[in-house]
Structure 1
């Protein structure tokens, strides 16, 4: 396509040719009137004048055309090139208005359009980046389908949840992705009815079971046109597990409280019905009531203790603790139970080992572990307590010669109210909260608890604690 500059040049040339031709025709009309009577010198003068006039007219026309091109044609041609660059997406292109012929309304309008487009492009890029960041930072998986039913957008959470990549999903329908059947049915229902659907889905796989909260909704445009659907998938497996733990906890607490209360109520009613008149029966029943009351009191104390430890804002009182003195204090507390079962404790603890910890809480930890060892061991057996230190860590081990625990039971050993043998635990006076308290207190100290056990041989608890408190 010829530029405006070229077009003006051609127009000026044509105009010049027309002017020269016209001038030649006019001058030529007068020559025959006197050509025959004129002498040779006059003819020569006439042709010289004609040629000179034509030459002057040509130069004058060329000068005028050049001035027109410099002042009007070239700036317009340059601004046309700038406008073309802007049309192709180069919003940084500008018309330089420093020269007089470029300083006009057209140049200013082109620069203003370029500036507005550049600002709009920047805002669009920022909004696109914000949307991408928002989608990728969501804690839920996102899947968006277009009007044709194919996937056109998904985020990283969705990829990790289902083990799929964008290349495997984008452009495919929900039937071709390989989603669980329950999710496919929900997506199909949203497509068919164009209504919001929300559902909790249980997904069974070869190695584990998970739960998903799936939300599907149609995407409606500004003018009410249907654009597709969006599906948000949130993994609620942990929430479901915590809900099950809560239900189990409430059921266990209710059961543990009901048992002693029922016993106390039953024996009290029997006494009131006349059994209190028999001294032997009265003493026996009162001893049972006292035992159940002690058990109920211990259970409530442990519940309050565990609740206080788990409460936000719970803190420890750190100080220099002599490990041997702390373990000696714990051994004195459980000495009565040791004597009743004719057991003994062998302690191998360095004399001068000092750590930064809460002495009272560590005594509580050791008492719970030693009490467990006593309750679940046979008479005349030995409980061994050893303490070693390595680098910045101290390891306290409590080993008994008790009944032992099956390997399948070990992962749940620190759950509240979990008992390997409920009847045996109840007879021993345990509440089922001791190991849960131990785990919480050790973890608050920045340590960890490990357990090993073998049926008929015994159980070993290892507590790893930092020597220095990390403030």
Structure 2
């Protein structure tokens, strides 16, 4: 209604100005004639100078009236044109905002029915686009949630080889951050070579491909069931490849354990059982009459029975630790106190080989852990260091910390471990030097127990070794949270 009143007002101004202009033109043409007749009829004398003077005054007034008429017409026409253009400019501005992705923009133009219909169409389009955008965001969030919470590692690589999508499982599995991966070429990420070769194969063949891959990560052998497939968009356009990795390490490991357990246990039990059986048979055959031989054989039987007991205890301990849901009691624990107790336990064995400890502790560190289990971890590590080190050497113990973990390092000057054997040293019954370990009474289960206990503490384990120079094992346990 207001728009109609404005239009009527402008139309009235234009008509009024036009009437003024027309009247001015007509009067301008008839005024001299009427003036001359007026003077003649009233017999008023006049000369040419007087007539020109009156005529000029009249035309001055007429000029003023014409100027006013022109201003009225111009103003009315300008306002009328602006009333037509402004709605169009408003609608155009709204359309530009929509093209930029601002689907909340709305047109508020007023005018004739054509303008109102155009405004309504633009606003309906904006609402439709806004609903489509909301639907797209919901679907994108669902897809993101699905990708992030799937149990397998996923990476999508574009046509040029740059990473476009990656989930947390992939980043965590290869110790990468999102900034290190997103938009980067997959060949620059430092992935294992066989993974890179698998991706190259999918790129080259542009066909689905499945393969079981064995990779070494953090001195540990991992098994991945890898599936790759090309990503094809609309109209058959090739967009890149998607790679999905299922971690089957535990399945392979359990399968291998089932195969090896009987063989390993029987192999480990054979020596003590054979010794006990052989020496006991010898004694029964009459050797018991020789007191010196009797004592020697009984001592050997005692040692072998101790070894058998240690093996069974370690198997039971490892079985308990490996049970699903096994947890430790995490309480604030001093690493220094734990290390002192571990040193006290292993000192007799250290003295037997005339070795010594070198302690590097700047200050104590408090972690969240089970003190008894931590003592078990460090006792095993120190005992291993003593076993695999020559006499008159030094074992160095260090306590450090970073932002997340309290760190204990156990470093020896022993035989060291070959790089190819590092990934296997945490396996059950695996020995770097089998003869030395057996002679010292080791069961081959100590490091397997250490690994599981560290994982139960949500910690990390790292090992650096050089053949002939020694080994440094680093244990990282989460720090006590500072309030």
TM-score (norm 1): 0.51
Match of 1:460 among 468, 472, 483: 472
Give the SS at the match of 2:401: strand
Q: Once the 2 structures are TM-superposed, how far is the Cα of residue 447 of structure 1 from its aligned partner?
A: 0.8
Cα distance between partner residues in 2 of 1:318 and 1:167: 51
Q: Once the 2 structures are TM-superposed, how far is the Cα of residue 351 of structure 1 from its aligned partner?
A: 4.7
Aligned to 2:410: 398
Cα distance between partner residues in 1 of 2:453 and 2:354: 30
In the alignment, structure 1 residue 291 sits paired with structure 2 residue 303: yes
Q: Once the 2 structures are TM-superposed, how far is the Cα of residue 314 of structure 1 from its aligned partner?
A: 1.7
Aligned to 1:276: 288
1:347-393 Cα deviation digits (max 9, x unpaired): 22245422221000000000000000000111111100000112232
Contact 1:442–1:448 (Cα < 8 Å) also in 2: yes
Give the SS at the match of 1:334: helix
Cα distance between partner residues in 2 of 1:398 and 1:238: 28
Task: Report the RMSD for the aligned CA atoms in angstroms.
Answer: 4.0
Superposition pairs of residues 157-236 of structure 1, within 5 angstroms:
none
Give the SS at the match of 1:377: coil
Contact 2:214–2:224 (Cα < 8 Å) also in 1: no
Aligned to 2:16: none
1:318-350 Cα deviation digits (max 9, x unpaired): 222121111110011011101111111112224
Unaligned runs of 5+ in 2: 1-145, 153-195, 226-245
Q: Once the 2 structures are TM-superposed, how far is the Cα of residue 203 of structure 1 from its aligned partner?
A: 7.3
Cα distance between partner residues in 1 of 2:204 and 2:421: 43
In the alignment, structure 1 residue 416 sits paired with structure 2 residue 428: yes
Cα distance between partner residues in 2 of 1:261 and 1:162: 49
Cα distance between partner residues in 1 of 2:415 and 2:398: 20
Superposition pairs of residues 122-133 of structure 1, within 5 angstroms:
none
1:11-41 Cα deviation digits (max 9, x unpaired): xxxxxxxxxxxxxxxxxxxxxxxxxxxxxxx
1:164-192 Cα deviation digits (max 9, x unpaired): 889977xxxxxxx6879xxxxxxxxxxxx
What number of residue pairs does the alignment pair up? 274
Aligned to 1:245: 257
Alpha-carbon distance change, 433 to 206 in structure 1, aligned in 2, over 3 angstroms: closer
Superposition pairs of residues 66-465 of structure 1, within 5 angstroms:
239-465=251-477
Q: Extract structure 1 runs of 4+ deviating beyond 3 A.
A: 160-169, 177-180, 202-212, 234-242
Unaligned runs of 5+ in 1: 1-132, 140-159, 170-176, 181-201, 213-233
Aligned to 1:216: none
Cα distance between partner residues in 1 of 2:203 and 2:380: 53
Alpha-carbon distance change, 237 to 399 in structure 1, aligned in 2, over 3 angstroms: closer
Cα distance between partner residues in 2 of 1:442 and 1:168: 43
Cα distance between partner residues in 1 of 2:224 and 2:409: 39
